[in-house]
Structure 1
Amino acid sequence: MNIQAVRGPAEIRRARSENPKMRERDLAVALGISEAELLAAHLGQGVTRIDPDVSRILPALEAVGEVMALTRNESAVHEKVGVYEKITVGAQHALVLGRDIDLRIFPARWAYGFAVEKRAGDDVRRSLQFFDKAGDAVHKVHLRPASSLYAYQKLIEDLHHEDQVSPIEVQADKIVDEVPGDVLPAANVLRDRWSAMTDVHQLFGILKQLKLTRHQAVHLIGEDYAWRLEEDALTTMLHQAVNGEVPIMCFVGSSGCIQIHTGAIKTVKPMGPWINILDPGFNLHLRTDHVKELWAVRKPTKDGHVTSMEAYDADGRLIAQFFGERLEGQAERPDWRTMVENLPRQASGQVA
């Protein structure tokens, strides 16, 4: 069977059987369908549909114990091992603020959920996978040897969806987080509001009011607040963070979840177009060839300015964001600030 755009569950299952080693995400792309549709075609065959109700999922996950949490976008995969704990759930946002698993969740984006069991020889790999209305993954949870199988099975039972037969229908358009306005505001309007910030989280409200994307804002704000770095400065930064023992914060987001690592990193390895952090409890896989713009960004706070590194793809979408490790109310680490400020800058007016 040629891999081509297919929709029927039987055709999808046949393509899966003919490509047993192909990753689900890659197979879905090859078939011209979403990853959620690929899973839905296997309902009753190692796949169970569950209710994607964040207010019920998160407390149930805490009981499962140690797991691996995974959040990705088109260009970066962020994996953390830990326990879902210190959970707060609201209508618009949910938080997981555990020592290892640190998430910002947008419940309205969680449209489909599945429990997936895959056999690999004598082993069974179990996961919970959640998707947005376009069928793109927002968050995945992979069980580990220390996970509670009883709590996992009870979660599936409690969240069991009434329809375990019908294919799902996803929306054609991808979920877009930022919609730019038709007209850019004057730079001084953005600068006035930016310079008055006392907390980095205020930037979201400023951009929303001015109908700006984050990518537009860094272009508009001026070089005292944001400056272009050479794209390979991201890899340089990671190696310097290892060598200088500078603990970092690494943010990677999907349409429905932002996942954060905080702490030192030990092992950074390139592999083809990927740069990888391969540490116990934390893995990052990032496509450096997707990084078309890399920016250092300075934001004022009541504790002094905070410096981030922001990687954008060809469409101006944020791939990943990095900070020095910092607690609320603390000044920025001087070693992180010095490191970022001394990374190679792109010459003004240079066209990438």
Structure 2
Amino acid sequence: NQGAVHEKIGVFNKVITGNNHAMVLGDEFDLRVFPQAWRYGFAVERRHRGGIQRSLQFFDAAGAAVHKVHLRPVSNLHAYRKLVAELVSANQEPTMSLKARVADLGARTADRAGTVDDLREHWSRLTDVNLLKTLKLSRCQALRMVGQDYAWLLDNAAVGAVLQRAAEDELPIMCFVGNRGSIQTHSGLIKSVKQIGPCIYVLDETFRLHLRSHQIREVWAVR
């Protein structure tokens, strides 16, 4: 998304499809896909540093990126070309009609939201954040409503501090970055954390994160 780029380097080993979502799994991968948000796909090839960089790039109806897959030097080029040939569209026009972005479904109006008592009752036995949908609350609304014994605001600088401390203490973490069409997760250790200006980077062998900290609106501690 515009605030964070989450890159995993590895092989897709298993794809599990369902009615409304799919899972892509591997030794380094945990990717959740929501196909209803995917509208356009492109095979992209461009010259880069004396070679050709190849990728598959996917976008929603408004033209926002939902996922990208970049080939590595050891990637199976034959399989890539075969897949592109099988999926190539007859429509190769240089322009397309994009739709205006739909309002975020997570932004619920107050008159539709559950009460604080309802929320706290659910929270006390919460095992899945998707249960918040039964109260018609977005996560941010729920965090503000539930009370400081369950959730409290932190300074935005806490994100960089947490990542740096996790690397120093060799503390395994889970890092999710998502958009309307996909959510990708890193689970495990992180090693190399750097901050350059407003941007925070994790630069590990199979995981890379680029976070624009100046675009962070709120940071919450939750229990």
Q: TM-score range by the shorter chain?
A: over 0.9
* Counterpart selection for 1:233 from 147, 158, 172: 158
Q: 1-side partners of 2:50 and 2:201: how far apart?
A: 30
Q: What is the CA-CA distance between 1:97 and the residue it aligns to?
A: 2.0
* Counterpart selection for 1:187 from 116, 136, 140: 116
Q: 1-side partners of 2:21 and 2:37: how far apart?
A: 10
Corresponding residue of 2:57: 129
1:247 aligns with 2:175: no
* Counterpart selection for 2:125 from 164, 178, 196: 196
Q: 1-side partners of 2:47 and 2:124: how far apart?
A: 55
Q: 2-side partners of 1:166 and 1:182: how far apart?
A: 44
1:257 aligns with 2:171: no
Q: 2-side partners of 1:180 and 1:232: how far apart?
A: 28
1:93 aligns with 2:15: no
Q: 1-side partners of 2:202 and 2:156: how far apart?
A: 18
Q: What is the CA-CA distance between 1:176 and the residue it aligns to?
A: 2.6
- Aligned partner of 2:141: which letter? Q
Aligned pair count?
A: 222
Corresponding residue of 2:205: 280
CA contact (8 A) 1:177 1:255 kept: no
Corresponding residue of 1:347: none
- Aligned partner of 2:119: which letter? L
Q: In the TM superposition, what whole-angstrom CA distance separates every residue of 1:45-76 from its partner, at most 9, and x where no partner exists?
A: xxxxxxxxxxxxxxxxxxxxxxxxxxxx1111
Structural RMSD (CA): 1.4
Q: 1-side partners of 2:20 and 2:7: how far apart?
A: 24
Q: In the superposition, relative to structure 1, how do residues 261 and 121 fare at CA in structure 2: closer, same or farther (>3 Å)?
A: closer
Q: In the superposition, relative to structure 1, how do residues 103 and 93 fare at CA in structure 2: closer, same or farther (>3 Å)?
A: same
Q: What is the CA-CA distance between 1:251 and the residue it aligns to?
A: 0.1
CA contact (8 A) 1:179 1:211 kept: no
1:83 aligns with 2:11: yes
- Aligned partner of 1:254: which letter? N
* Counterpart selection for 2:136 from 201, 208, 211: 211
Q: What is the CA-CA distance between 1:120 and the residue it aligns to?
A: 2.3
1:292 aligns with 2:220: no
* Counterpart selection for 1:141 from 65, 69, 73: 69
- Aligned partner of 1:251: which letter? F
- Aligned partner of 1:118: which letter? R
1:156 aligns with 2:84: yes
In the superposition, the TM-score normalised over structure 1's length comes to: 0.61
Q: What is the CA-CA distance between 1:253 and the residue it aligns to?
A: 0.1
Corresponding residue of 1:109: 37
- Aligned partner of 2:137: which letter? L
Q: Secondary structure at the match of 2:220?
A: strand
Q: Secondary structure at the match of 1:116?
A: strand
Q: 1-side partners of 2:49 and 2:201: how far apart?
A: 28
Q: In the TM superposition, what whole-angstrom CA distance separates every residue of 1:194-252 from its partner, at most 9, and x where no partner exists?
A: 2122x2x2x21x32221111100000011121111121111111111011110111000
CA contact (8 A) 1:130 1:140 kept: yes
**Structure number with larger C-alpha Rg:** 1
Which consecutive residues of structure 2, in runs of 5 or more, have no partner in the other structure?
A: none
More strand by share: 2
- Aligned partner of 1:190: which letter? L
- Aligned partner of 1:191: which letter? R
Q: 2-side partners of 1:292 and 1:109: how far apart?
A: 24
Q: In the TM superposition, what whole-angstrom CA distance separates every residue of 1:276-307 from its partner, at most 9, and x where no partner exists?
A: 10111111011111122110112xxxxxxxxx
Greater length-normalized contact order (CA 8 Å, ≥ 6 residues apart): 2
- Aligned partner of 2:206: which letter? G
Q: 2-side partners of 1:121 and 1:241: how far apart?
A: 35
Q: What is the CA-CA distance between 1:166 and the residue it aligns to?
A: 5.5
Q: Secondary structure at the match of 1:91?
A: coil
